[in-house]
Structure 1
Amino acid sequence: MSPRGVATPDVSEQLFSAAERVVEKSGPGALTSRAVTAEAGCAKGLLHAHFAGMDEFVAELCLDRFARTAAKARALSGLAGQNTVAGNLDAVVLALFESGGPAISGIAMSRPGAALRIREALEGGAPGFGTIQEAVAGYVEAEQRLGRVAGHVDPSTVALAVVGAAHHLLMTSWPGTPDPRPAMTRLVTVLVDSSA
């Protein structure tokens, strides 16, 4: 535990990771500022010293995770011609489901203040599902130019199907439901295999 008055490095990430662990272990109803700071092993007031409240904290957590996945999606273009198309796509899409992805997304949607903050940030240009979809479409186009995806395939439609399915599974999954990742892997494989 960090003693009072001692700086905690990378506070946001420490708290975000702790929140994901709390949700994974105990479900979304257990996500409180006390639970997060206890899991993080830091002072109880640390979360409120860095965030205006739980709505802001949850919104920032979701936006951070969207940004990380968008960065992975943008890096896809550099993988064109390497590994397998399905494997490359699968890695990016599954990043959305890492840690407490489905539960955290559900919490954000159940908290009107967090949902509003997320929507405003996305409207202001923060990376989200649209950014990920554009990157996936660009990657599929790059693979198409290399002949690894059939010419008749519409990259935008593949990207919409992949990202739309991921969004659906994120919004309808919660602790205790079947793991959504195998369904995403099957979808990606079917889309890519059917395009060859």
Structure 2
Amino acid sequence: MSPRGVAVPEIRRRLFDAARTVLLREGPGGLSGRAITREAGVATGLLYNHFGDLDGFLTEFIADGARENAGVLAQLGSRVGAGTVAGNLTQAALAFGTYLPAAVELVRVRPALTDRLHQALASNLPTLAEIQRSFAAYLAAEQEQGRLGPGTDTGALALALVATAHHLFTSQPPPSADPDEDLRRVVSALISAPRA
């Protein structure tokens, strides 16, 4: 626990990372101010000093994830032909898996967040269908570059990626102790699967 009066560097990021850990481990019902600050190793009051209340914090947590995800998805097209297809998809799926399922589940258990999220995101929260289309467009571009086989069903592959990420990051209890690693394995398996 950090002592009173001692500045905590990068407190927002530290609290957001702690919230993600608690969310994955305990589900949306486990996201209390005390659980988050205990995970972050800071005094409970620090969260309220920076965000006003828990709903204010959770709104910023989801909005931060939405901004990060939008940035990763926007960069996906520029990654065509660079790095590995599996690596690019995994990075994008992990960003999506962090925030969108969290947003859906948090709003389900805390309906009061709805208005705050609409204001914070100006209704620009990408839908599952939009994320799926981004993945499909990226995969089609990689297919044109010859980095995916001509028989690859890019639409089905995009759907499988979105469904897998959604399952791994919303299931309670979590399907495994390390959903990030599970997602990496699934992406790798889907990309390298032999085509009929």
TM-score (norm 2): 0.69
- SS of residue paired to 2:82: coil
The reply to whether residue 78 of structure 1 matches residue 67 of structure 2 is no
Structure 2: runs of 5+ lacking an equivalent: none
Output the CA distance in 1 between the equivalents of 2:7 and 2:129.
Answer: 36
Output the CA distance in 2 between the equivalents of 1:55 and 1:152.
Answer: 47
The reply to whether residue 162 of structure 1 matches residue 129 of structure 2 is no
Distance 1:123 1:168, change over 3 A: farther
Output the CA distance in 2 between the equivalents of 1:160 and 1:17.
Answer: 27
**Match of residue 178 from structure 1:** 176
Pairwise mapping of residues 1-196 of structure 1 onto structure 2 (< 5 A)?
A: 1=2, 3-4=4-5, 8-23=8-23, 29-97=29-97, 106-115=105-114, 117-118=116-117, 121=120, 124-127=123-126, 129=128, 132-150=131-149, 155-175=154-174, 177-178=175-176, 180=179, 182=182, 185-186=185-186, 189-190=189-190, 193=193
Matched AA of 1:72? V
Output the CA distance in 1 between the equivalents of 2:116 and 2:45.
Answer: 22
Residues paired across the two proteins, number:
193
| Deviation (angstroms), 1:61 | 1.5
- SS of residue paired to 1:3: coil
Output the CA distance in 2 between the equivalents of 1:122 and 1:54.
Answer: 18
Distance 1:106 1:150, change over 3 A: same
Distance 1:129 1:26, change over 3 A: closer
| Deviation (angstroms), 1:63 | 2.9
Q: Give me the CA root mean square deviation.
A: 3.8
Residues 88-127 of structure 1 show CA distances to partners (whole Å, capped at 9, x for unaligned) of: 31332234456x9977864453222235544665562145
Alpha-carbon contact 1:133-1:159 (below 8 Å) kept:
yes
Matched AA of 1:178? S
Alpha-carbon contact 1:58-1:108 (below 8 Å) kept:
no
Alpha-carbon contact 2:80-2:138 (below 8 Å) kept:
yes
TM-score (norm 1): 0.69
Alpha-carbon contact 2:90-2:187 (below 8 Å) kept:
no
Residues 27-62 of structure 1 show CA distances to partners (whole Å, capped at 9, x for unaligned) of: 655432123234334343221223242223223223
Alpha-carbon contact 2:26-2:173 (below 8 Å) kept:
no
Distance 1:45 1:130, change over 3 A: farther
| Deviation (angstroms), 1:143 | 0.8
Output the CA distance in 2 between the equivalents of 1:122 and 1:155.
Answer: 30
| Deviation (angstroms), 1:2 | 5.4
Output the CA distance in 2 between the equivalents of 1:29 and 1:149.
Answer: 41
